[in-house]
Amino acid sequence: MASTEWNNTANGADSFGQDGRLVTPSDDTDLDPIAKTVCVSSTAGGSDLSILTLKGTTIPFVGVSVGFVPPYRVARVNDTGTSCTVYTID
């Protein structure tokens, strides 16, 4: 069983996510709050993902699989270049 300390750890940049939500991709609107990262949950509509990192860099990923997690803090999931379904890890 997990210790109380483990269960009550603050949700910092170096901890696991404590929540998530479905992302509506946008070319103009950042995620609020900024996500620790995102996770691809379906490629039924396509398998491309375009993100804007916390530092402001757009990074496209082509041909991703379900379960793909980019190794970046994610400020935005861009509409242009994204065809998969994505959830945040907050």
- pLDDT tens column, 2-17: 455 555 556 566 677 8
User: Where is pLDDT greater, at 13 or 80?
Assistant: 80
Sheet holding 49-53, edge to edge: 58-61, 49-53, 74-77
* Residue 36 forms part of a structural domain: yes
Q: How far apart are CA 24 and CA 79, in angstroms?
A: 8
In a domain, 51, yes or no: yes
33 occurs within a structural domain:
yes
Q: 2: Cβ–Cβ under 8 A, 6 or more apart, which residues?
A: none
In the chain, the percentage of residues whose pLDDT exceeds 90 is 79
Q: What does the pLDDT read at residue 17?
A: 83
Amino acid letter, 61: F
Per-residue pLDDT, 18: 86
* Comparison of pLDDT for 2 and 58, the residue scoring more: 58
Residue-level pLDDT at 16: 77
Whole-number Å distance between alpha carbons of 39 and 29: 19
The answer to the question of residue 85 being in a domain is yes
- Identify the pLDDT of residue 13: 61
Q: Answer yes or no: is 16 within a domain.
A: no
B/e letters for 19-33, b = 16+ CB within 10 Å, e = fewer, are: eeeebebeeeeebee
Which residue segment(s) compose the domain that 85 sits in?
A: 29-90
Asked, for residue 14, whether it belongs to a domain, the answer is no
Does position 48 have pLDDT exceeding 90, yes or no? Answer: yes
Number of structural domains the chain divides into: 1
Residue 75 pLDDT > 90: yes
